[in-house]
Amino acid sequence: MGMFKSAEEFETVIVGFFNLIGETPVIADKLLKSKMIIRFIYTDPDLVVVVDCSGDKAETRAHDTETKAIVEMSMSADVAHRFWFGMVNLTKALTRKEMVAKGPIPKVLKLLPAIKPSYAMYPQYLEANGYGQYNITKSYTPPAG
């Protein structure tokens, strides 16, 4: 059984975080430049999320199985969760099939430097939004105030 107790809770956490990334210019500008449309297919709990950077702003849509994605990434919700802490080596995860990627992988690899700042944002986001129980960063110190 995975870390998240329900698909609804995982959806709230992950979609909320993607929205935050989409509103963070230092990351969003680079994502929008890539024009990437990526579908995340999560298991345990099951959830499909599309992050669409093809327009003027990054859009996140849960349950979107219709949009033609450039890349599809399949993984468990726990692997996705650890990824946003910066704890997953993407090439290792692909090699061990913890993640399965369909589509032009170089375009995904190219985005990794762009999303690097989000790793520091994720634990702060969890704490700030009442999901502190999912913060697995041992050395995490809550923001002052």
Partner 1 sequence: MLPEFFEFYNPTKVVYEDGVATDLKPELDIIGIKKYFIVSDHVIHDLGLVQKVADGLAEAGVEVTGTYLDVAQDARLKDVQFCADQIKASGAEGIVSIGGGSVIDTAKAANILFSEGGDLVEDYSGAQTLTRPLKPHVVIPTTAGTGSEVTMIAVIYDEENKEKLAFPDKFLLPTLAVLDPQMTLSLPPKMTAATGMDALTHAIEAYVDIDASPISDAFATGAIELIFKHLVTATRNGDDVEARGGMQIASTMAGIAFTHSMVGCIHSMAHATGALYRVPHGVANAIFLPFGMEYNFEEITEKLARLARFMGEDTTGLSTEDAARSAIAAVRGLTAQLNALDALPIRLRDVGVPEDGLEAIAEGALNDGSSFYNPREMDECELLPYIKNAY
If the CB atoms of residues 63 and 92 are measured against partner 1, the closer one turns out to be: 92
List of residues 6+ apart from 33 with CB closer than 8 A: none
Distance (Å, whole) CA 137 – CA 17: 16
Q: How far is CA 137 from each of CA 25, 52, 75, 82, rounded to the nearest angstrom? A: 25, 29, 21, 10
* Structure tokens belonging to residue 72: 């599809």
Q: Which residues bind partner 1 (CB under 8 A)?
A: 71-72, 89, 91-92, 94-97, 100-107, 109-110, 112-113
If the CB atoms of residues 3 and 90 are measured against partner 1, the closer one turns out to be: 90
If the CB atoms of residues 52 and 98 are measured against partner 1, the closer one turns out to be: 98
Please report how close the Cβ of residue 81 comes to partner 1 at its closest, in angstroms.
Answer: 19
Please report how close the Cβ of residue 97 comes to partner 1 at its closest, in angstroms.
Answer: 6
